[in-house]
Amino acid sequence: MNQLSYLSYLNVIFSLNQPKFCPVVSWQTNGSIIANSTMIGTVPIGMFIDNNNTIYITDQHDKQLRIYNERDSKLKIINLTNFSPSNGIFITNHGEIYLSSQTEHSQIVKWSKDLKTHVTVANIEGICYGLFVDIANNLYCSVSDNHQVIKRSLWDMNSLSTIVAGNGSCGSTSNTLCRPSGIFVDTNFNLYVADTNNSRIQFFKQGKSDGETVVSKDT
């Protein structure tokens, strides 16, 4: 990637919805239902909300992608023939949709914005429970069963995956994870990981294998 292209990526606004909260925000203890099975499907497993408040939901049972547009209150259903989706879903600023499959050898598929074409961009050993595409077009996958987060470039389909967090063993030390799920990468390429079985959020600076706990069940 040349310097001009790289700078243009730095100016990209994240596609995912990032609401602003005040320092003393609080939530009600009782939730309210905003969608039923008609909207979210029989077994909803993955969800993504973009900057336009469009909700993307993967339904594992019916092998569908459901897209609900808040602006016109319309529900679009895409049948994912021969593809069983997992938790992993990510939508880019260009409207491209990345989905991971619920198989031992996870297939990462990219759908075009018009939902007319799709292509396999990666095959991963294990199931991707979290997907993220950073501003430099790198794909991140949290492989929960392997207790790792891996990364690979989407510019080069022949590139190999590299481990960016976790050492492959379930643990609670600074360099281990246990069943990681959701992931987020900021504009400085720092990684945040929902370390599920340790009930903590781990922060990994770019290029560092030791993480810092920013939130845990004890804080």
Q: Could you write out the DSSP letters of every residue in 26-40?
A: ---SS------HHHH
Two tokens at 10?
């730095």
% the chain with pLDDT above 90: 45
- With contact defined as beta carbons under 8 Å apart, do 65 and 88 qualify? no
Residue linked to tokens 């990994």: 204
Q: Is the pLDDT of residue 9 over 60?
A: no
pTM (2 d.p.):
0.85
Burial pattern 4-14, b for ≥16 Cβ within 10 A else e, equals eeeeeeeeeeb
CA distance 77 to 80: 9
Q: What is the chain's mean pLDDT, rounded?
A: 87
* 113: confidence class by pLDDT, cuts 50, 70, 90: confident
Q: Is the pLDDT of residue 18 over 60?
A: yes
- With contact defined as beta carbons under 8 Å apart, do 52 and 71 qualify? yes
pLDDT digits (tens, 9 = 90+) for 161-211: 999 999 999 999 999 999 999 999 999 999 999 999 999 999 999 999 999
Range scoring the smallest mean pLDDT among 41-45, 79-83, 106-110, 165-169: 79-83
Other Cβ atoms closer than 10 A to 88: 29
Q: Is the pLDDT of residue 5 over 50?
A: no
Average pLDDT for residues 134-153, to the nearest whole number? 94
CA distance 148 to 211: 12
Residue 197 backbone phi and psi in degrees, to 5: -75, -10
Going along the chain from its start, the domains and CATH numbers come out as 42-126 (2.40.10.500)
Two tokens at 192?
């945040």
Residue linked to tokens 């990684």: 191
- With contact defined as beta carbons under 8 Å apart, do 200 and 215 qualify? yes
189, 190, 194, 200 alpha-carbon torsion, rounded to 10°: 180
* 8: confidence class by pLDDT, cuts 50, 70, 90: very low
Highest mean pLDDT among 24-28, 68-72, 123-127, 170-174: 170-174
Average pLDDT for residues 54-76, to the nearest whole number? 87
Average pLDDT for residues 112-121, to the nearest whole number? 87
